Amino acid sequence: MSTSAKAADLLEHFRSMEARLESEPETVRAEIVRGLYLMSPRPRPRHAHVEGRLYSALDQALGRSGGAGEAPDWLFLIEPEIRSERAFSRLIPDIAGWRRSMAGWPDPDVTPISLVPEWVAEILSPGTADFDRGEKSDAYGAMGVGWIWLVDVDAASVETFSNARGRMVRHATFALGQEISGEPFGALRLPVQAILDYGR
């Protein structure tokens, strides 16, 4: 089979999985990860709490208008659906961020979103941690996502990764008592405690 025929077969398979995904009830969380159809359990309340705190912190710091009517550069969305034919993937990050000054913002009325985000975060749960660290991170790399944060609720840490030629490469890990800093958020310093404090 020629390379072009194989690619066409893979694309047809991907689209058939998308049709299956779109027929699932709204209560089912299904994703396509580099050609594999996967369903994941619903997260714990702690997971949702941390997701909300991280979104709120980033949106307040970077997603709102600056002084003198300056428009924000970043747009953050909770659990958007992102689609990439190139990576044969349709994923739901816990939080995703797009930068206006880079590739722009996605159309707010279109889903799934085909514009690749600059940054995503996954809040790890016992039932999804291996998947988020492995296949899903690989798919983000293949899509062209620039940075990933993996927020480990149980270990109370935030691991950061950047994209190097389609592979996510580990950078710093931040723990309680530290501030998350570095790209892609420039001078922002975000205390880990501010997002992971859930009755600690």
pLDDT of residue 83: 97
Count the Cβ atoms, other than its own, within 10 Å of residue 70: 8
Would you list the DSSP string of 28-89?
--EEEETTEEEE-PPPPHHHHHHHHHHHHHHHHHHSS--GGGPPPSEEEEES--EEETTTTE
Q: To which H or E segment does residue 96 belong?
A: strand 95-99
Residues of the chain with pLDDT below 70 are 1-2, 65-69, 198-200
Q: 20 lies in a domain?
A: no
Q: CA-CA distances (angstroms) from residue 120 to 12, 13, 136? A: 27, 26, 11
Q: 26 lies in a domain?
A: no
pLDDT of residue 71: 83
Q: 54 lies in a domain?
A: yes
pLDDT tens digits, 45-95: 888 899 999 999 999 999 986 555 678 999 999 999 999 999 999 999 999
pLDDT of residue 65: 63
pLDDT of residue 25: 85
Count of residues in the chain: 200
CATH of the domain at 126: 3.90.1570.10
Q: 118 lies in a domain?
A: yes
Q: 64 lies in a domain?
A: yes
pLDDT of residue 1: 62
Cis omega before residue 117 (within 30°)?
A: no
pLDDT of residue 93: 97
Q: 76 lies in a domain?
A: yes
Question: 19 - beta bridge partners?
Answer: none
**Domain span holding position 123:** 44-196
Please give the tally of structural domains in the chain: 1
Q: 34 lies in a domain?
A: no
Q: 172 lies in a domain?
A: yes
What's the burial of 93, exposed, middle or buried (CB within 10 Å: 0-12/13-18/19+)? buried
pLDDT of residue 68: 59
2 — phi, psi (to 5°)? Answer: -70, 160
Whole-prediction pTM: 0.91
